Structure 1
């Protein structure tokens, strides 16, 4: 265990059992800050990962996620948000989680050791040439995740490996290795803590950059969101109003005309017809900023 940084002792864990509540919380918070600091050196690799993911999606491919246990949960949390936030079809962002849905309800340690599950999952997701897959493992040695990475690479996909151990097998295998060297955990070996926090932030960074590359973010607004509940319908109207300068009533009318599609609704609210708005977005590859310039 000592050879893995994620399994070694954190300096703040000494006598943790005897510490008072506020002291425990301060130590946990300090350990989280330390883990998050590991993201800054990884910026170049995070940028490369986002470029690979965006390239795959832009060309009609997939950006998949894979992991087991806590790492898989971090991947799942990011993966599930992409359809609603950026309007990306769920089948374009498949999740490969060791053990499947059953393991989400009752975490099962053994499934992460089964490479056969990985091969079945990657076949089901139809990952192959032209796709990118984000593989997460704190130790970088999880058999399920390694098997996904190896099979995806053999099928011609770009493999992004995210690990909290610099010498990880996963990083050596990956086309784009992302090292998040978060070090020891305050609860020794509990990588659901600092390692997982850094993983989730890294995925937030990757997915936001992907959204930007695809033109799904404008001025900080999610202009390609899928409005499928009352909250998001209201948000869509407020986005259209804020970007176009129209009032809420005009924004809602524009959304009605475009059947809830935010980008063309913004252009309609600035004076375009729906066909003109859709044609402009085709010309700009779905990017709103140059389409708005056309309408000035």
Structure 2
């Protein structure tokens, strides 16, 4: 398969500038509806990745996302939401973007073309064989990502590749390929659109399923979330009240005393 033909393939829609606003939006939405099925088709390999991650996490392993541009930003976003949502330190799920943190807001020229830099960036975190590296690249050809995945494999780490081009170099290099064929973009080659959306969905699935597997969720609640504002304290108190079957005010006192929903429920259950 010619891996360049999907994400760079001409859009199914043309003369976009001649369309009225509602037609533009309807046609975009028509394309977006293809994304969920493309992600669903990748669930078997996402399952393999989550199970392998959970096994390594229990032994102290970590999850690294590496990417450039939109893909890198999505990895950083997913990693940054783990501490407040699940109460893990920021050192357990780490997002690395080509060009460094300044590239989150502003493109860094040529950063994605360096095949050596990703491994250097990971080495700053003392990466080891218990860790898992997930490379994210819509094209599946980004040198920064391919170089990082290649070096990770050479050093005995498990690797996965999230890409929108089946059969691409990333898909064939990574141990676990997560290939989501969303078809050509509404604006030809603009992979921040359907490709980026599919990546966001896949990363949500990977990290959320991992957190559930390692015990950071109870029932369907975020029992380890950080209580960093009034809204979250209120949410936590409601979780404790529901979990223990006690009045809200009593639940709030327990929550503030023990500092987390899980700790408050565990303590309340022993009273």
TM-score scaled by structure 1? 0.87
Match of 2:239 in 1: 239
CA offsets per residue over residues 230-258 of structure 1, 9 Å max, x none?
22222221211122212222212222332
Match of 2:5 in 1: 4
Kindly indicate whether residue 218 of structure 2 is the aligned counterpart of residue 218 of structure 1.
Answer: yes
**Partner SS, residue 222 of structure 1:** coil
Residues 153 and 159, structure 2, Cα contact 8 Å, conserved in 1:
yes
Match of 1:269 in 2: 268
Match of 2:21 in 1: 21
Matches of 2:3 and 2:163, distance apart in 1: 17
Please give the residue correspondences for 1:240-255 in structure 2 after superposition, counting only pairs within 5 Å: 240-255=240-255
TM-aligned CA deviation for residue 187 of structure 1: 0.6
Match of 2:65 in 1: 65
Matches of 1:168 and 1:127, distance apart in 2: 26
Matches of 1:156 and 1:247, distance apart in 2: 52
Give the direction of change, closer, same or farther, for the CA distance of 1:4–1:187 in structure 2 (3 Å limit): same
Match of 2:100 in 1: 100
Residues 94 and 125, structure 1, Cα contact 8 Å, conserved in 2:
no
Kindly indicate whether residue 184 of structure 2 is the aligned counterpart of residue 184 of structure 1.
Answer: yes
Match of 2:160 in 1: 160
Give the direction of change, closer, same or farther, for the CA distance of 1:229–1:155 in structure 2 (3 Å limit): farther
Residues 69 and 109, structure 1, Cα contact 8 Å, conserved in 2:
no
Residues 118 and 144, structure 2, Cα contact 8 Å, conserved in 1:
yes
CA offsets per residue over residues 200-221 of structure 1, 9 Å max, x none?
0011111111111011112221
Matches of 2:11 and 2:36, distance apart in 1: 15
Matches of 2:94 and 2:185, distance apart in 1: 30
Matches of 2:252 and 2:75, distance apart in 1: 34
**Partner SS, residue 3 of structure 1:** helix
Residues 56 and 63, structure 1, Cα contact 8 Å, conserved in 2:
no
Matches of 1:34 and 1:181, distance apart in 2: 9
Matches of 2:8 and 2:35, distance apart in 1: 14
Matches of 1:161 and 1:126, distance apart in 2: 21
TM-aligned CA deviation for residue 8 of structure 1: 0.4
Matches of 1:93 and 1:14, distance apart in 2: 41
Stretches of structure 2 that go unaligned for 5 or more consecutive residues are none
Give the direction of change, closer, same or farther, for the CA distance of 1:72–1:2 in structure 2 (3 Å limit): closer
Worse overlay, 44-53 or 135-144: 44-53
Stretches of structure 1 that go unaligned for 5 or more consecutive residues are 274-296
Give the direction of change, closer, same or farther, for the CA distance of 1:2–1:225 in structure 2 (3 Å limit): closer
Residues 117 and 148, structure 2, Cα contact 8 Å, conserved in 1:
no
Q: How many residue pairs align between the two structures?
A: 270
**Partner SS, residue 42 of structure 2:** helix
Say what the alpha-carbon RMSD is for the aligned residues.
Answer: 1.6
TM-aligned CA deviation for residue 109 of structure 1: 4.1
Higher helix share: 1
Give the direction of change, closer, same or farther, for the CA distance of 1:208–1:2 in structure 2 (3 Å limit): closer
Matches of 2:47 and 2:3, distance apart in 1: 32
Match of 1:55 in 2: 55
TM-aligned CA deviation for residue 6 of structure 1: 0.3
